[in-house]
């Protein structure tokens, strides 16, 4: 009875033309129809536009989780928890069955050793052989490292310098949100200019800024480069997830997620995905429940997250551009 009543009273803004997911689908259509075609680093080619913004209200557990294809939110959540550990080796992800970062270490291994090992065999070796993983599974000082252990240097009297203590930006932002909510400096930055050349990929979701409005916590993410078909569904989920965890830790209510993209593109070999997905309509309103309040932002576990009301349309597979 209660369910039926709820179903009948859902306002049209939520299920109909005003569904928040149309922002994503409209962006996809706009890029495909008007984007400028260009060659890109991966050699695949994209259609691309400069600058875009998406806004999602996170009140009442709402999440920007796409319903027009299945998004593997647990995979994205495991990746976020991995960032928060400061880890940059893919082995912990591999051991949890998360495959999204495998292509990059594999490509480096093949390039540097000249050995022709296929991706699955390489990944199996990362899982089985800790020493091998240490040597070949690292992505360099990517997100996790910069977020929780941004390197510093101390200058000595003799003119040389030595390593200082790393900076935990995530912990600092939790503190500043608690102690100085009105600050305009609640920023987590991944773009460490001096270390870009050692990263497998320079950060895409590079700048997170938090904003406290009353008792609500808003988050703005600037993403310099965005693979709209494969990356963005993950990036939206993860940014909203981080916002929710931050809000819980600072006793604030989740507010709005404002996503801003720089080079926002679709890969030319994703045409089948795009055509299929643009023929679908969003439906339903998935919600995230966090079942426990951990001691700190670094103590969340995958079991703490439960998604309700997620009945997506089928997944649409597409190759990732390496
Ligand atoms: N070209 C490109 N696009 C990206 O989105 C991307 C990169 N490179 N490099 C670094 C990370 C890795 N990311 C990835 C990589 C693969 C998938 C992917 O294949 N997703 C599939 C299956 C996911 C799964 O099996 O769990 C999907 O259908 O979403 C998504 C994000 C996001 N990033
Ligand atoms: O979280 C992510 C990580 C990566 N991407 C995409 C964006 C681009 O298509 C590539 C990165 O290539 P660059 O040449 O370094 O821009 O990966 C994403 O969308 N989200």
Please report the pLDDT score of residue 14 as a whole number: 57
Strands 205-213, 36-38: pairing is unpaired
**Token pair of 142 as six digits:** 């990517």
Q: What kind and span of H or E run contains 19?
A: none
Prediction pTM value: 0.94
Residue spans per domain, the chain: 2-86+169-308
Which portions of the chain are predicted below pLDDT 50?
1-13
Please report the pLDDT score of residue 11 as a whole number: 47
- List the one residue out of 200, 247, 246, 256 whose CA is nearest residue 84: 246
pLDDT, tens only, 271-289: 999 999 999 999 999 999 9
* Distance from the alpha carbon of residue 6 to the mean position of ligand 1, in angstroms: 36
| CA pair distance 129, 153, nearest whole angstrom | 34
Q: What are phi and psi of 199, to 5 degrees?
A: -90, 140
Evaluate: CB of 232 within 6 angstroms of ligand 1.
no
- List the one residue out of 26, 16, 14 whose CA is nearest residue 59: 14
**Token pair of 98 as six digits:** 């998360």
What CATH number labels 2-86+169-308?
3.30.572.10
Tell me the catalytic residues: 204
Evaluate: CB of 240 within 6 angstroms of ligand 2.
no
Evaluate: CB of 236 within 6 angstroms of ligand 2.
no
Please report the pLDDT score of residue 17 as a whole number: 76
**Cα atoms in the Cβ-side hemisphere of radius 13 Å centred on 10:** 15
| CA pair distance 78, 254, nearest whole angstrom | 21
Name which residue sits closest to atom 17 of ligand 2, judged by CA: 227
Name which residue sits closest to atom 20 of ligand 2, judged by CA: 231
Name which residue sits closest to atom 6 of ligand 1, judged by CA: 231
| CA pair distance 27, 178, nearest whole angstrom | 35
Partners of 290 in the beta sheet? 305
Q: What are phi and psi of 12, to 5 degrees?
A: -65, -25
């Amino acid at each position: 009875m209660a369910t039926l009543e709820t179903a009948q009273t859902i306002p049209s803004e939520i299920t109909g033309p005003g569904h928040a997911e149309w922002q994503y689908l409209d962006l996809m259509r706009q890029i495909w129809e008007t984007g400028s075609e260009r060659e890109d680093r991966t050699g695949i080619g994209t259609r691309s536009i400069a600058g875009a913004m998406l806004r999602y209200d996170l009140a009442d557990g709402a999440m920007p989780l796409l319903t027009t294809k299945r998004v593997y939110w647990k995979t994205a959540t495991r990746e976020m928890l991995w960032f928060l550990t400061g880890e940059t080796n893919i082995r912990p992800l591999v051991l949890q069955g998360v495959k999204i970062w495998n292509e990059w270490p594999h490509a480096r291994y093949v390039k540097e050793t000249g050995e022709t090992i296929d991706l699955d065999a390489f990944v199996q070796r990362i899982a089985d052989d800790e020493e091998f993983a240490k040597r070949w599974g690292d992505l360099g000082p990517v997100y996790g490292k910069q977020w929780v252990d941004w390197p510093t240097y101390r200058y000595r009297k003799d003119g040389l310098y030595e390593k200082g203590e790393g900076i935990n930006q995530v912990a600092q932002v939790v503190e500043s949100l608690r102690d100085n909510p009105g600050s305009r400096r609640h920023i987590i930055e991944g773009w460490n200019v001096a270390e870009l050349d050692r990263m497998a990929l320079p950060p895409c979701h590079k700048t997170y800024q938090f904003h406290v409005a009353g008792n609500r916590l808003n988050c703005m993410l600037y993403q310099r480069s965005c693979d709209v078909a494969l990356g963005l569904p993950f990036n939206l989920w993860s940014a909203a997830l981080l916002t929710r965890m931050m809000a819980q830790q600072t006793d604030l209510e989740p507010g709005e997620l404002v996503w801003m993209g720089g080079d926002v593109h679709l890969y030319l070999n994703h045409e089948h995905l795009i055509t299929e997905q643009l023929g679908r309509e969003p439906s339903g309103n998935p919600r995230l429940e966090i079942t426990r309040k951990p001691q700190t932002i670094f103590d969340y576990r995958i079991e703490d997250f439960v998604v309700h009301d997620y009945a997506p349309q089928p997944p649409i597979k597409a190759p990732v551009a390496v």
